[in-house]
Amino acid sequence: MKAAVFVALDTTDLARAKALAAAAAPHVAGVKLGMEFFYAHGAAGVREVADDIPLFLDLKLHDIPNTVAGGLRAVLSQLTPRYINVHAGGGPEMLMRAAEAVAEASGGKTRIIAVTVLTSLDDSDLAAVGQQGPAAEQVLRLAKLAQQQCCHGVVCSPAEVAMLRREMGPDFDLVVPGIRPAGADAQDQKRIMTPKDAMTAGATALVIGRPITGAADPGEAARAIAASMA
């Protein structure tokens, strides 16, 4: 049984991305490709890597409503990812227009999720940009806004999963980066959790990058993570 993991292929190297995707695919739900790869290779490159495996296209769009909606339509005219995302901080109209654009352009095949608070940020970082209160309060505020505007779910850190599952209900997707197997280096993530603990807390899907892609044997690393979640 494949684990509910999207492997983050954070590289601009097309050949490496294809090799990593092939190695991990037997053990995971899909792959995540982000702005680095998309800017380097466009939709054609994305299709080379993820033509036959579910895709989380992590573009984190954040602009005025019309621009975000137009950008989503342009992307979805060429690709049909499982997930695509925008920043919840873009506000209610942007989220509403984004959800409408995704539903229309993908025919309901793509789920739109909103980024709440990046896992590289903590309370002191939020205070530095004028956002008061604990990160968890901001995450919940943005998750409720996203749900009200018909988004399918949010991207959140492991620290907020249990709270959001309780507050947002069983059908709201919680896609969770900041996942590190027991004993792994936290690196630049500040709010982390093990894969099994995150799923137990209520995550829908996990995003795991360097513990798999940086391993000597990425396929074996993906298999081991899947086994740890069983």
CA 31 to CA 93: how far, in whole Å? 29
Tokens of 166: 């309780």
What are the DSSP calls for 59-89, one per residue? EEE-S-HHHHHHHHHHHHTT---SEEEEEGG
Does residue 196 carry a catalytic annotation? no
Helix residue spans in 77-229 (DSSP H)? 92-106, 123-128, 135-148, 161-168, 195-201, 210-213, 218-229
What is the greatest pairwise CA distance in the chain? 45
Identify the active-site residue in 2, 18, 60, 144.
60
Q: Catalytic residue positions?
A: 60
